[in-house]
């Protein structure tokens, strides 16, 4: 049962470009856009659902995540939350780890995690579980379904620490990542961990979704912990596979495994 003071929120998936997902969190009246790389599909989704934009949330400075902001601001004068450690012209409310804030217009409280690696200032937004919904995570290009973001600015050690923060969230946390990269990520995952039964099952499930043109996102933290090699690099089988493939000289530290894994994925 919901009452008027705890109106249920939903998340709308807004596909954009080739393989981006932009997100609209809304209560049926007001909406906040997460990473609106393109204004057109956001405006169309707002109009189609009779929603009014009340805020914009950004995870990092890449164009496919912020490109639609100027056009949205022409139509909606709203605050723009974004990473305090990056320079993004449109950001009016810089936030970073430890910040907890109420999103204007919605019964939505978010907390911020610093998750450097893909970019140096990358942040993620977390909504704690409610009576009606599990934890929600909006993690941009840090954690993907079956993979993780490329290290354009940060180090493998930073990415390990960032992914560790996300993996510490409850298993039923919904992972709203920003790209549909799942099948190609899982193709790589299968090569590095061929005997993972949960992974084999997941490949079937996600392949079926894509064949029916359905998004594989959101995923959950539990599924990622069971199948995503970038959360599983401490598994001995993964290090052994890297050695066998000539991607790692010998079994070494988890950091060495993670580094080799990320480099291999880059040219997979």
* Residue 141 is among the residues annotated as catalytic for this protein: yes
What's the min distance (Å) between Cβ of 113 and Fe ion?
18
List the single partner that 206 binds among Zn ion, Fe ion, none, CB under 5 to 8 Å by kind: none
What residues from 131 to 150 belong to the interface with Zn ion (CB under 5 A)? 141
* Residue 122 is among the residues annotated as catalytic for this protein: no
CA pair distance 173, 231, nearest whole angstrom: 15
Q: Which residues pair with 114 in a beta bridge?
A: 123
Catalytic residue among 35, 38, 114, 141: 141
* Residue 18 is among the residues annotated as catalytic for this protein: no
Q: 38 or 141, CB closer to Fe ion?
A: 141
* Residue 118 is among the residues annotated as catalytic for this protein: yes
Q: Which residues pair with 181 in a beta bridge?
A: none
CA pair distance 157, 257, nearest whole angstrom: 11
Query: Any contact of residue 64 with Fe ion (CB under 5 A)?
Result: yes
* Residue 26 is among the residues annotated as catalytic for this protein: no
Query: Any contact of residue 62 with Zn ion (CB under 5 A)?
Result: yes
What residues from 136 to 155 belong to the interface with Fe ion (CB under 5 A)? 141
Query: Of the candidates 205, 255, 208, 194, which has an alpha carbon nearest to the alpha carbon of residue 230?
Result: 255
Query: Any contact of residue 224 with Zn ion (CB under 5 A)?
Result: no
CA pair distance 23, 169, nearest whole angstrom: 20
Is the separation of the CB atoms in 180 and 215 below 8 Å?
yes
Q: 105 or 116, CB closer to Zn ion?
A: 116
Q: 105 or 140, CB closer to Fe ion?
A: 140
Q: 60 or 202, CB closer to Zn ion?
A: 60
- What is the residue-wise DSSP string for 167-186? HTS-TT-EEEESB--HHHHH
Helix (H) / strand (E) containing 26:
strand 20-26
CA pair distance 196, 201, nearest whole angstrom: 9
Residues serving a catalytic function are: 60, 62, 64-65, 118, 141, 179
Chain residues binding Fe ion by CB under 5 A are 64, 141
């Amino acid at each position: 049962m919901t009452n008027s003071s705890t109106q249920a929120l939903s998340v709308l998936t807004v596909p954009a470009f080739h393989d981006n997902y932009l997100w609209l969190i809304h209560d049926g009246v007001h909406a906040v856009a997460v990473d609106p790389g393109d204004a057109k599909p956001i405006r169309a989704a707002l109009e189609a659902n009779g929603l009014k934009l009340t805020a914009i949330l950004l995870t990092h400075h890449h164009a496919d995540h912020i490109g639609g902001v100027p056009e949205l601001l022409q139509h909606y004068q709203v605050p723009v939350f974004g990473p305090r450690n990056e320079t993004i012209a449109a950001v009016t409310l810089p936030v970073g780890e430890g910040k907890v804030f109420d999103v204007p217009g919605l019964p939505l409280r978010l907390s911020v995690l610093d998750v450097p690696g893909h970019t140096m200032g990358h942040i993620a937004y977390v909504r704690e579980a409610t009576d009606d919904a599990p934890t929600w995570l909006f993690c941009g290009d840090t954690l993907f379904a079956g993979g993780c973001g490329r290290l354009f600015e940060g180090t493998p050690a930073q990415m390990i620490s960032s992914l560790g923060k996300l993996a510490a969230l409850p298993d039923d946390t919904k992972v709203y990542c920003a790209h549909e990269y799942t099948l190609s990520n899982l193709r790589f995952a299968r090569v590095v961990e061929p005997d993972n039964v949960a992974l084999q099952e997941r490949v079937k499930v996600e392949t079926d979704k894509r064949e029916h043109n359905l998004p594989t996102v959101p995923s959950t933290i539990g599924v990622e912990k069971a199948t995503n090699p970038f959360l599983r690099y401490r598994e001995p089988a993964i290090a052994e596979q890297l050695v066998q493939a000539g991607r790692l000289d010998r079994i070494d530290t988890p950091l060495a495994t993670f580094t080799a894994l990320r480099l291999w994925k880059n040219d997979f």
